Amino acid sequence: MEIASTQTATSFVPTTETSEAVISSDFETFLKMLTVQMENQDPLNPTDASDYAQQLATFSGVEQQVLTNDLLSSLMVQMNTTGMAQMADWVGKEARAAAPAYFDGSPITIAPNPAAIADKVELVVLDAEGIEVQRMEIAKSAEPVDWAGVDSAGNPLPTGLYTFRVESQSGGNVVLDEVADVYARVQEVRSENGASVLLLEGGVAVLASDVSALREG
C-alpha cells in the first residue's frame, strides 16, 4: 500500500510560494498607502517619524508570523508522513481500540476492562442503530473474550457494525459502563487534519494514538 506519494510530500511548496507572493504584493500596497499618507499629511502637524516606524514594524511582524505558520505547517506534514511510513506494517494486523467492530460471521475478540470492585460483569451488544441486541454475563477479568455473534438459539446475527459495552456491577448497581476495546484488522493508514488515522474493517476509522495494542491478524 502506498502511504504517501511524492505529490503529497511536496504539496506545501506551492502554498509557501503563494504566501510569499501575497506578502510581497501586500507590502507593495502598504508602501503605496504609506507614501500617500505622507504626501497628504498636514504640513502644520506632520506625522511623527516613530509612527511610520511602528507601522513598518507591525507589518514586518505579521509577515514573519505568516512565514512561520507556513514553515510549521510544512514540518507537521513531514512529521505526519514519516509517522505513516513507520506504521506501514500495521496494515493487515489487528489493532485494539475502543470502537465499533464489523461482524461478518467470524468471531470478534473483545478486551474487557471491568472495575476491580465488580461482583458481576455483563457484556452488552448494540447494533449500528444503538439498539441492544444481546446481553450476557462474562468473567470478572481482563482476559479477551471471543464473541461468536449468535443469538440464544444459535442463529447468527446480521452482518454489520456492533458496539460492545462492559457493565461492571457491585451490589446490584452499575459502577462502571464503558465501550470495550475490540480487535479489528487494519486496512489502511491515512492522514486527516494532521493526524494519522487507521481505517479498520467495516469502514471504522480510529486515531492511531487511540490504538492500545497490535497483533498478527
pLDDT tens digit sequence for 132-161 = 999 999 999 999 999 999 998 899 999 999
Q: How many Å apart are CA 156 and CA 138, to the nearest integer?
A: 19
Q: Is the pLDDT of residue 79 over 50?
A: no
Q: How many Å apart are CA 73 and CA 14, to the nearest integer?
A: 13
Amino acid type, 186: V
Three cell numbers, residue 115: 472495575
Burial class (CB in 10 A: 0-12, 13-18, 19+), 179: middle
The per-residue pLDDT for 192 is: 83
Q: Is the pLDDT of residue 46 over 80?
A: no
Three cell numbers, residue 20: 510569499
Residue 41: count other Cβ atoms within 10 Å of its Cβ.
11
- Which DSSP symbol is given to 88? G
Better-predicted residue by pLDDT, 161 or 70: 161
Amino acid type, 30: F
The per-residue pLDDT for 107 is: 96
Q: Do residues 95 and 208 lie in contact, with contact meaning Cβ atoms separated by under 8 Å? A: no
pTM: 0.61
The per-residue pLDDT for 47 is: 61
pLDDT digits (tens, 9 = 90+) for 172-215: 999 999 999 999 999 999 888 878 899 999 999 999 989 999 99
Torsion angle, CA of 137/114/185/189, rounded to 10 degrees? 150
